[in-house]
Amino acid sequence: MVLRPKNFAKAPANENQSPAASRAVPSSKGLVSRLGLADASHRRRSKTSGMTRTTKYAIEQAKRRNDMAKKAAKSPMVFKVTRAPAVNDVVMGDSSSSPQAKVTQLHLPKELGRPEYKEIDKEVIGAIDATAADTDIEYIREGLESISTDLAMSLTCTKIQTTRNELPKELTVIVNDMCSILPTHVLAIFDGQAIRADPARPRKVTLYPAHSLVLAANCAHMPKPPATLPVPVHQKGEQEVTLPVWSLALPSPLTYPHLSVYLYTKRVEHLMGMMLPSPPPADWLEKKEERVLSYAKRLSQTFTVQALTMHIYGVHGLWQNVCTMGIFDTRLWDALDWMWATLLTALAIATGEPGLMIPSASEQQQEQ
């Protein structure tokens, strides 16, 4: 199937057309070429330049964090909150035998576990473009970061024509002149937990434009995407393009847009600003423990228990998506740990049980 704009037959060649209007919009292959990955010398340099980072530390850290989370999961902390909204991914139960009780017990792990580390699958990269299969993954990521603005812009200037019928294998999108790098796929996100609970129930699907190389280079658990389609020549103004649909089941579809923005921009403070009730301190990474307590106190004094609980659910959902997609990004995990500790500390203070998160003086001495 050859992709052509809707007005392809009516649009004659124009020698005076601007370069921006006449350039070809790259596909996944065009994107790889734009990054210079098809150049054999680049591939050789990437293998010998020292870009490849050892995974020993990451594996050890993942195991350590996972062991700690398993210990915490055996005896989760119990917060007593009023009218906490019910969600599927947090264990909840009434603290009173009366069904009319307003106080609810919220069981939460003190720390978020980390899945076992996994390398990016080169077969998935090769399925997107064979010339990139042997390229160092850090080299690919650096190349994507260098054009992250153009990649992110293409998502905002792509409109997907939705359908109410059965999800097709291909969908039409409308792009404009601002879209310099055409998305390769339409990502169809749905709730995997809901499907497992009731397979016969119609599933709610949300559609997003995406670039397969961005996802494959950052997510170790992503399956091979459907093959890309031929790319049309970019025409001035809006044009229709057909893209393959790539279905993906996630535990928290609502938090995927925030995670997607991070994968494209790698701006962790922006992600934290979307997930927290208010922006985090600028020096949260340099002074983690100190800023957890001061920021948590401010949150507990500013926001209701219900608001804090909803943000806890959001961070929990984001964490579930990160685990499911296999994202082993150190800065992202640092942010997840910090947001979780901060929100739980704020909730402990707000519910009058600061000891759940803030160790006493004797406990601090024992730790030392």
Q: Quick one: pLDDT at residue 239?
A: 87
Q: Quick one: pLDDT at residue 192?
A: 81
Q: Quick one: pLDDT at residue 62?
A: 60
Whole-angstrom CA distances from 87 to 103, 156, 203, 314, 350 are 16, 30, 17, 10, 21
Q: Rounded to whole angstroms, how far apart are CA atoms 110 and 104?
A: 18
| Strand partners of residue 207 | 188
User: pLDDT per residue over 160-185, tens digit each?
Assistant: 987 777 889 999 999 987 788 889 99
Q: Rounded to whole angstroms, how far apart are CA atoms 197 and 354?
A: 36
Residues 6+ apart with CB under 8 A from 248: 187, 188, 189, 190, 222
Handedness of CA 102, 105, 110, 113 (dihedral sign): negative
> What spatial distance separates the first Cα and last Cα of the chain, rounded to whole Å?
67
Encoding tokens for residue 339? 């947001």
Q: Rounded to whole angstroms, how far apart are CA atoms 239 and 25?
A: 12
Handedness of CA 356, 359, 362, 365 (dihedral sign): positive
User: pLDDT per residue over 112-145, tens digit each?
Assistant: 998 889 999 999 999 998 888 888 999 999 999 9
Residue-by-residue DSSP string for 353-364: -GGGTS--HHHH
pTM greater than 0.85 (yes/no): no
* Contact indicator for 191, 249 with CB cutoff of 8 Å: yes
> Strands 77-82 and 103-108: what pairing?
antiparallel
Handedness of CA 268, 269, 273, 276 (dihedral sign): positive
Encoding tokens for residue 250? 């996630």
Q: Quick one: pLDDT at residue 52?
A: 37
| Strand partners of residue 151 | none
Residues 6+ apart with CB under 8 A from 167: 188, 205, 245, 247
Encoding tokens for residue 200? 């016969």
Amino acid letter, 153 = M
Residue-by-residue DSSP string for 150-196: HHHHHHHTEEE---SSSPPSEEEEEE-TT-SS--SEEEEEEEHHHHH
Residues of the chain scoring pLDDT < 50: 1-29, 40-54, 57, 84, 86-101, 361-368
By the 10 Å C-beta count (0-12 exposed, 13-18 middle, 19+ buried), 287 is classed as exposed
Q: Rounded to whole angstroms, how far apart are CA atoms 52 and 25?
A: 31
Give which of 341, 212, 342, 214 is closest to 266, Cα–Cα. Answer: 214
Domain boundaries, the chain: 120-250, 267-358
Q: Quick one: pLDDT at residue 74?
A: 54
CA atoms within 13 A on the CB side of 41: 0
Phi, psi of 19 (to 5 degrees): -55, -35
| Strand partners of residue 209 | 186
Q: Rounded to whole angstroms, how far apart are CA atoms 120 and 117?
A: 10
